[in-house]
Amino acid sequence: MMSAPSGQTVAQFIEHYQMGSPFDLDNEKAYQAWRENKLENYPENVEELIVEINDPAALTSAEYTAIHALVVKTNMAVYAGNTGRDADKEIPAKLGKQFGLTELDDNMGADDGVTSLKVVSGRWRGGYIPYTNKPIHWHTDGYYNPLDYQIRALFLHCVSPAEKGGENALLDHEIAYIHLRDTNPDYIRVFMSNDAMTIPANIKDGKEIRPDRAGPVFSVTTDGNLHMRYTARTRSIEWKNDTVTQAAVKSLAEFLDSESPCIYRATLQSGQGLISNNVLHDRSGFEDADDYKRLLYRLRYYQRIANT
């Protein structure tokens, strides 16, 4: 479990091979070299992603190295710590700091940047699916945020699982990119266009909470990394109405619905959590019981996990 897979960051790849960006559609040579490196020894089951740790607030260097190597390879890792049902929000926040993450997104549901994902009835949050026990379709977090405030890293920390359900499916967005580019490079071309997807304005009681937001699915950040915005929702999303974009959307949806060994499934237990560069994920529906009320903390950062 602790033997970390080999890998290199995109920045290391570009520097080492001096080939330019693998995400440039006109640079097939760099893409093929990066793709080969990426897929070599790529983990094919979730157990390979789990790193046993002692205290999440103070990782040993071996624990840090194992998690870091997994994130370099797959953009994610699952830690299994010893904090059990300790509901201290500082546990995941301190873990984030060890990975250079300090800029928490202050979204509507977060009191202190750490959002409690649990069933909430009555208050306004009950109207949003994350605060219910309903399934959530595939997405990356914050796809509706302004392009300047995209979520680069996403952490989940489990205080308590539900009695039943609440499983997350997880897919490295770079694997989704490879699938689409190998299927048809034009799918990447349309997904990199600034009008690929539009999230219509959020209007509540006649007041505009958020304006229309159009943007790409895939983009390359200034540090050369691939970023993805996506939701499988069919309501509250408008895909560009052209044949290639529609075909790309369909191809991605089919891949997410497939039995690919790169799609991991995990039901986080008390003291476990997900560390990720905002990979694609979903959540199954769940049922709470008196002793098993699902509580997960969610932390969204504007920064990517350091040195990955």
Q: State which amino acid sits at residue 99.
A: F
* Beta strands at 295-301 and 153-160: parallel, antiparallel or unpaired: antiparallel
Kindly determine how many residues on this chain lie close enough to bind Fe ion according to the rule CB under 5 A.
Answer: 1
The piece of 100-108, 137-145, 167-175, 182-190 that touches Fe ion (CB under 5 A) is: 137-145
Distance of closest approach, residue 154 Cβ to Fe ion, in angstroms: 7
Minimum CB–partner distance for residue 173 and Fe ion (Å):
13
- Rounded Cα distance between 193 and 252, Å, is 16
- Cα separation of 181 and 185, whole Å? 4
141 binds Fe ion (CB under 5 A): yes
State the nearest-atom distance from the C-beta of 283 to Fe ion, in Å.
7
Tokens for 280? 């694609």
Strand ranges in the chain using DSSP code E only, listed in sequence order: 50-52, 76-80, 114-117, 136-139, 153-160, 164-165, 168-171, 197-199, 202-204, 207-210, 213-215, 218-220, 226-228, 238-239, 264-266, 272-276, 280-283, 286-287, 295-301
Residue 69 or 296: which CB sits closer to Fe ion?
Answer: 296
Q: Which of 70-78, 136-144, 201-209, 250-258 is the region at the interface with Fe ion (rule: CB under 5 A)?
A: 136-144
Binding segment for Fe ion among 55-63, 71-79, 134-142, 186-194 (CB under 5 A)?
A: 134-142
CB of 268 to Fe ion, least distance (A): 13
User: Of 113-132, which residues contact Fe ion (CB under 5 A)?
Assistant: none
Which residues lie across from 202 on neighbouring strands? 210
Considering beta carbons, is residue 10 or 158 the nearer one to Fe ion? 158
CB of 143 to Fe ion, least distance (A): 9
Distances (CA, A) of 213 to 104, 122, 200, 201, 210: 21, 29, 6, 7, 8
Query: Measured from the CB of residue 133, what is the shortest distance to Fe ion in angstroms?
Result: 15
| Residue with smaller CB distance to Fe ion, 63 or 141 | 141
Q: Given the rule CB under 5 A, which residues bind Fe ion?
A: 141
